[in-house]
Amino acid sequence: EAQVTQNPRYLITVTGKKLTVTCSQNMNHEYMSWYRQDPGLGLRQIYYSMNVEVTDKGDVPEGYKVSRKEKRNFPLILESPSPNQTSLYFCASSLLGGRSYNEQFFGPGTRLTVL
């Protein structure tokens, strides 16, 4: 089944404790992206990647890191989480990013709480 998976689905942590949220897709998509969803603010892009070893900042990259060592995986890293990073996080992927503007497929979401 073609899908985007994220782990963990739920996470409660404390300020300053490094964490990684994994994202994996099995559709051979070049483009992957991370969003955070907050009430009243919609979905905001954190980072995106056009292909392996190619990443770039979205609109709200502060406090986050990403890597794209393999085409199927795009982990989101919070080196020192803070309470303002409490949010619902979505990973998404699409085929042929750029001018093709293909549909983005979203993962199931990760609800993160930072105490």
Partner 1 sequence: GENVEQHPSTLSVQEGDSAVIKCTYSDSASNYFPWYKQELGKRPQLIIDIRSNVGEKKDQRIAVTLNKTAKHFSLHITETQPEDSAVYFCAASWGYQGAQKLVFGQGTRLTINP
Applying CB under 8 A, the residues found at the interface with partner 1 are: 31, 33, 35, 40-45, 48, 50, 56, 58-59, 90, 94, 97-99, 101, 103-104, 106-109
How many Å apart are CA 32 and CA 23, to the nearest integer? 9
Cβ proximity to partner 1: between 69 and 99 the closer is 99
Which residues fall within 8 angstroms of residue 89, CB to CB, at 6 or more apart? 6, 21, 34, 35, 36, 37, 46, 76, 109, 110, 111, 112
Closest approach, Cβ 58 to partner 1, in A, equals: 7
Cβ proximity to partner 1: between 55 and 85 the closer is 55
Closest approach, Cβ 17 to partner 1, in A, equals: 27
Closest approach, Cβ 106 to partner 1, in A, equals: 4
Q: What is the largest CA-CA distance in the chain?
A: 41
As given in the structure block, the two tokens for residue 21 are 């949220």
Cβ proximity to partner 1: between 85 and 110 the closer is 110
Closest approach, Cβ 103 to partner 1, in A, equals: 5
β-pair partners for 28: none
Cβ proximity to partner 1: between 49 and 85 the closer is 49
As given in the structure block, the two tokens for residue 30 are 């070049």
